[in-house]
Structure 1
Amino acid sequence: MTATLPADQPIEALTLADVRAAAERIAGSVVRTPTLYSRTLSAITGAEVWLKFENLQFTAAYKERGALNALLLLPEERRARGVIAASAGNHAQGLSYHGTRLGVPVTIVMPRTTPIVKVMQTEQVGGKVVLHGETFDDAHAHACQLEQELGLTFVHPFDDPDVAAGQGTVALEMLEDAPEIDMLAIPIGGGGLASGMGTAARALKPGIGLIGVEAQLYPSLYNRLKGTQLPAGGDTLAEGIAVKEPGTFTSKVLARLLDDILLVSEASLESAVALLLQIEKTVVEGAGSAGLAAMLAWPEQFAGRKVGVVLCGGNIDTRLLANVLLRDLARSGRLARLRLTLQDRPGALFKVMREFDHHQVNIIEIYHQRIFTTLPAKGLITDIECEARDKEQLEALMESLRAKGYAVDRVELN
């Protein structure tokens, strides 16, 4: 990968020694999550897949590691005064949880638009939440103002060597538990996780492959390192890595470390979340699925490799998770919405139902549209939501309906 940053540009120190020191510092206070081989995902992807279950941390995300390391490195006087951060996600919970545990006052500034569940989760683990502004940038600016006014210490969610060193402990554990790993697929938002993990992994195994993964809607580091100007923005499932500007420090580190950055679509992220729940029986958020999503979308990049995938978080809204699972069933052909044009007369729908019965396809919902159509007054559009065994069973039903003269189309997902 060609980086646009000068090769001789100095960077703050981040070494294997820093990551090892962080590991000793935080030992016993964070969960040493398992690294497990997935036989089924290996068969699906054509690579050997090891999963690191960081969604099993107390706050369900790896962010605890960096937050705790940064807190423990603060002088006693600064700890007593307290720390502040701008975050509406996993950093807020990790910093609040460990700050409270250590007796350090923690203030988190969030935009007023933050979902109430995230505010409550942060307050439940001891953080004081201040709501300010409409956007993250507004909240960040206010946090910086409070930092100066109240004499607090700002703990950045990613653009900080101490935070990155803490995140790097994920790689130490993975390579201890599965030393055969020869490639890592690491989600990238601001770059703290990838910087820490990449630094440790490259020092331990100089030939290891390091692949960063960003959501296609937020190609911020991709743009910076590859010199592109792809748009960044939109409503992504992977909100944990939806960062418009990567860190200054982390960008310099990753320009030297990464072999490539891959972009993953929303459909790939949804499929990965669903696969992990169905196969590994584990819940991950969109960002947590990014590594597997890259393997599904770019199999040629990983074929034959021994790949470590970090399931970096599991904080996903249950209603959103339900939607993701249902959409995945629709993409696989298990669920479908079929659109038929019928004549508005007695028995018309009954004849269609007989075809569904014959092919053993279960009907879930039926929607009639008589008014807002371009059909003649005696015509109607009928949408039938149904459940099939697989895509082949559904195709057989559609062919049978067409053979009997019905116009039938499948309503596709984006």
Structure 2
Amino acid sequence: MQFTPDEIADAQRIVYAAMPPTPQYAWPQLAQVLGGELWLKHENHTPVGAFKIRGGLTYFDTLVRQRPDVRHVVSATRGNHGQSVGFAARRHGLAATIVVPHGNSAEKNAAMRALGVNLVEHGDDFQAASEHAAELAQAHHAHRIPSFHRELVRGVATAYVEFFEALREAPPEVLYVPIGLGSGFAAAAAARAHVGAKTRLIGVVSAHATAYLDSFQAGRPVDAPVSTVLADGMACRTPVPEAVALIEREAEDVVAVSDDEVAAAMRLLYGATHNVAEGAGAAGLAAALQLSGRWRGRRVGVVLTGGNVDAPLFAQVLQSQIID
């Protein structure tokens, strides 16, 4: 998936009308633990605490121009995509219904409700919620917003363009990108092509939700069960075929990190940078630590994709009470 320079510039115009670029820092304590220079991109510093907001902004900008008749949108989420939809829908005066599975993050649910969405709980996992969202959209003649779409990727690409352009003089040799349904990885690949960086991309999945790793290894979409406690943003049971093909084409590798490794990365991020990371947000660092021997002494990139974790769960992580 590629974008023209004009498409990227237009995405930047749309995104920066709502938020400034986010920073990237080389944190000394992270470098010390990793054994190499580590640059951390702070997508937890957005108005919804996660990178997804960028895609929602570009998606809705295109939607309202191409479909001025749309007044109601429906989507499914584990939280960050839903906040993105709610944020953008409110800016454009559209009604939004978001479906989440039962047992979803209470604080992400509260954040979505605060943005004005009608929150519906259905099913035991994201896939069940997604299927119900499609049914609701059809029943109410509403516009169904997918979780993977070219316009979502175009917006998210602005984050990675910022990252690669900030480090243009000395880009990282490798960038670890968490994979939920694949929009973040697709955006990183598009931004890499746009800037002309040679950075290798390594996708990161939860060891308790391995659909994209299994698909990468099989060369075709493969479903996998989901049991992760921490990485709800990566809790994908059914991968998107287009995303699978893109990851197979663009990824140096795809690796899996356990909830224990994610918890350790969350603690390290808090201790070394005083930033709160949700499970998926810490997955990139968890992978970098897992593979530190491969890249020791070199420049590494990690994206803290979000910081939306429920306080009781984060407290358990800090107390080392999360186990696989």
Query: How high is the TM-score relative to the length of structure 1?
Result: 0.72
The higher relative CO (CA closer than 8 Å, separation ≥ 6) is in 2
Question: Does the CA contact (< 8 Å) of 2:72 and 2:96 recur in 1?
Answer: yes
Task: Tell me the amino acid that sits aligned with residue 38 of structure 2.
Answer: V
2:280 equivalent in structure 1: 287
The answer to whether 1:247 aligns with 2:261 is no
The answer to whether 1:144 aligns with 2:134 is yes
2:199 equivalent in structure 1: 208
Deviation at 1:149, TM superposition (A): 2.6
Task: Tell me the amino acid that sits aligned with residue 296 of structure 1.
Answer: L
2:58 equivalent in structure 1: 69
1:190 equivalent in structure 2: 181
The answer to whether 1:271 aligns with 2:261 is no
- Which aligned pairs between 1:378-393 and structure 2 lie closer than 5 A? none
1:94 equivalent in structure 2: 84
Question: Does the CA contact (< 8 Å) of 2:165 and 2:195 recur in 1?
Answer: no
2:312 equivalent in structure 1: 319
Task: Tell me the amino acid that sits aligned with residue 221 of structure 1.
Answer: Y
- Which aligned pairs between 1:121-200 and structure 2 lie closer than 5 A? 121-157=111-147, 159-179=148-168, 180-182=170-172, 183-200=174-191
Task: Tell me the amino acid that sits aligned with residue 104 of structure 1.
Answer: L
Deviation at 1:217, TM superposition (A): 1.0
Q: Which of structures 1 and 2 has the bigger CA Rg?
A: 1
Structure 1's 40 and 298: CA in aligned 2 closer, same or farther, altered over 3 A? same
The answer to whether 1:44 aligns with 2:44 is no
Deviation at 1:86, TM superposition (A): 1.0
Question: Does the CA contact (< 8 Å) of 1:66 and 1:164 recur in 2?
Answer: yes
Deviation at 1:121, TM superposition (A): 1.8
Query: After the TM superposition, which segments of 4 or more aligned residues of structure 1 sit over 6 Å from their partners?
Result: none
Between the aligned partners of 1:35 and 1:41, the Cα distance in structure 2 is 13
1:53 equivalent in structure 2: 42
Between the aligned partners of 1:215 and 1:283, the Cα distance in structure 2 is 19
Deviation at 1:304, TM superposition (A): 2.9
Between the aligned partners of 1:95 and 1:230, the Cα distance in structure 2 is 26
Task: Tell me the amino acid that sits aligned with residue 122 of structure 1.
Answer: M
CA RMSD after TM alignment:
2.2
Question: Does the CA contact (< 8 Å) of 1:97 and 1:127 recur in 2?
Answer: no
Task: Tell me the amino acid that sits aligned with residue 310 of structure 1.
Answer: V
Between the aligned partners of 2:237 and 2:275, the Cα distance in structure 1 is 29
Identity of counterpart residues, as a percentage?
29
Structure 1's 113 and 286: CA in aligned 2 closer, same or farther, altered over 3 A? closer
Deviation at 1:135, TM superposition (A): 3.9
Structure 2 stretches lacking a partner, 5+ long: none
The answer to whether 1:14 aligns with 2:2 is yes
Deviation at 1:61, TM superposition (A): 0.6
Number of residue pairs the alignment of both structures matches: 318
Between the aligned partners of 1:208 and 1:88, the Cα distance in structure 2 is 30
Question: Does the CA contact (< 8 Å) of 1:62 and 1:312 recur in 2?
Answer: yes
